[in-house]
């Protein structure tokens, strides 16, 4: 037995000595084989990968995740315009079939209700024969137009899907210049895209885009296909519906415009509840203040909108507003130009008495006006 033990001890000693010699002289013989076939020859230091990656400081990740799920892509198609002689057999004999290709369009939208209501721009769906909505989770559905409002360039669609993600509506009246915002949409059809910027200006109007203009201006990149998409704050709450850009190239130049969510809510409620948007109207002919008009009417005011004419028996006339008066405030909001007067009067509820502050020569006058329902004029913007 002792002989076997000595043999085992000598064998172990020899093997350990051999391992030590090989490890010293030829260490590569003892390394594990690797699957790498090529080495960069560069030493790299990589950060450990945590199980739950924390949100980096200053990141908009959470806001983008909250809002993106409720932003959809909208694809529209419209039948090719018919040719006047298309049904003439002689025309078809000589020229053949002249059927054109259907026209297609691209835009974005925002799901604002679990019932399937979607806000988008009127110009995205105007004249469309078919509207297909694609959600961020790749589900698709055919949308029905519930109603449109060309004056504000807004439209309400509806889809029939379950478990819809819904965006949270924010308070656009609290937005200030310099606030950070995100624009979410499907520019050029490349897929949902999030861009960031700030609020560049508020109350932009007289741009000739819509009848009623009160835009939020932003430098967040907005491109074709973003129309109808969401402008959200850093909490992912909806602040506006992206609508238009100023561009010389067709792409973003850092000047984009969004319809405030406060306006969008009014349009949505009017279309869903009554099928039409009911706007206020007082029956006046307004004009921006100018030295000539101020001299003609003897106006002393330096701010407001001059009333050059009043419709007989209209809401303004019944409240005592006269030609030569200057409307300074509507429902406590200061008025600086005709566009602001139009927007603020249109936002009033017909039949509800509203205070107006006037400047009548040297006197400050307050009257209560009960606006009527704004008619559909044959010539837009003649009366406000």
What's 138's domain CATH number?
2.40.10.120
Shared domain check, 290 and 206: no
Number of structural domains, the chain? Answer: 2
The answer to whether position 129 is within a domain reads yes
The answer to whether position 310 is within a domain reads yes
Catalytic residues: 123, 153, 227
The tally of CA atoms less than 13 A away on the side-chain side of residue 19 is 8
Domain-ending residue, one of 274, 307, 335: 274
The answer to whether position 85 is within a domain reads no
Question: What is the model's pLDDT at position 309?
Answer: 92
Using CA of residue 269, residue 272, residue 274, residue 279, what is the dihedral sign? positive
Residue with token string 């506006």: 240
Question: What is the model's pLDDT at position 379?
Answer: 41
Rg of the chain over all Cα atoms, to the nearest angstrom: 34
The answer to whether position 21 is within a domain reads no
The answer to whether position 336 is within a domain reads yes
Residues of the chain with pLDDT under 50: 34-37, 378-384
Question: What is the model's pLDDT at position 181?
Answer: 96
- Inter-residue contact 251 to 190 (CB < 8 Å): no
Question: What is the model's pLDDT at position 55?
Answer: 74
Question: What is the model's pLDDT at position 384?
Answer: 40
Q: Which domain holds residue 216?
A: 59-80+100-274
3-state SS, residue 353: coil
Question: What is the model's pLDDT at position 82?
Answer: 56
The answer to whether position 113 is within a domain reads yes
Shared domain check, 353 and 299: yes
Question: What is the model's pLDDT at position 381?
Answer: 42
The answer to whether position 36 is within a domain reads no
Domain-ending residue, one of 235, 250, 274: 274
Domain-ending residue, one of 235, 256, 274: 274
Determine which helix (DSSP H) or strand (DSSP E) holds 188, and give its type and residue range: none
Shared domain check, 119 and 241: yes
pTM over 0.75: no
DSSP letter for 254, please. Answer: S
Question: What is the model's pLDDT at position 380?
Answer: 40
Shared domain check, 241 and 115: yes
Question: What is the model's pLDDT at position 64?
Answer: 93
The answer to whether position 35 is within a domain reads no
């Amino acid at each position: 037995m002792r002989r076997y033990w000595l043999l085992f001890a000598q064998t172990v000693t020899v093997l350990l000595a051999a391992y030590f010699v090989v490890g010293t002289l030829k260490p590569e013989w003892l390394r594990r084989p690797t699957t790498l076939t090529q080495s960069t020859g560069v030493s790299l230091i990589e950060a450990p990968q945590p199980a739950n990656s924390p949100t980096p400081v200053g990141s908009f990740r959470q806001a983008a995740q909250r809002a993106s799920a409720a932003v959809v892509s909208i694809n529209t198609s419209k039948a090719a315009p018919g040719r006047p002689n298309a049904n003439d057999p002689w025309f078809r004999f000589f020229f053949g079939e002249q059927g054109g290709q259907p026209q297609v369009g691209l835009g974005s939208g925002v799901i604002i209700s679990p019932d399937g209501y979607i806000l988008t721009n009127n110009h995205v769906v105007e004249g469309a024969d078919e509207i297909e909505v694609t959600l961020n989770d790749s589900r698709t559905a055919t949308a029905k137009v519930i109603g449109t409002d060309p004056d504000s360039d807004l439209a309400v669609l509806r889809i029939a899907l379950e478990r819809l993600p819904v965006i949270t509506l924010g308070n656009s009246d609290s937005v200030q210049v310099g606030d950070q915002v995100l624009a979410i949409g499907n520019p050029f059809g490349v897929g949902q895209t999030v861009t960031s910027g700030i609020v560049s200006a508020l109350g932009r109007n007289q741009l000739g885009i819509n009848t009623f203009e009160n835009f939020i201006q932003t430098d967040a990149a907005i491109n074709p296909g973003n129309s109808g998409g969401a402008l959200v704050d850093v909490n992912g709450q909806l602040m506006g519906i992206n609508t238009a850009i100023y561009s010389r190239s067709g792409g973003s130049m850092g000047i984009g415009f969004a319809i405030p969510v406060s306006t969008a809510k009014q349009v949505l409620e009017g279309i869903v509840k009554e099928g039409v948007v009911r706007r206020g109207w007082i029956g006046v002919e307004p004009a921006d203040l100018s030295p000539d008009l101020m001299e003609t009417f003897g106006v002393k005011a330096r701010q407001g909108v001059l009333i050059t004419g009043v419709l007989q028996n209209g809401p303004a006339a019944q409240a005592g507003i006269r030609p030569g008066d200057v409307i300074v405030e509507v429902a406590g909001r200061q008025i600086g130009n005709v566009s602001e007067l139009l927007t603020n009067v249109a936002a009033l509820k017909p039949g509800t008495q509203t205070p107006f502050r006037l400047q009548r020569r040297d006197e400050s006058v307050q009257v209560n006006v009960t606006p009527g329902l704004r008619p559909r004029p044959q010539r837009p913007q003649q009366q406000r």
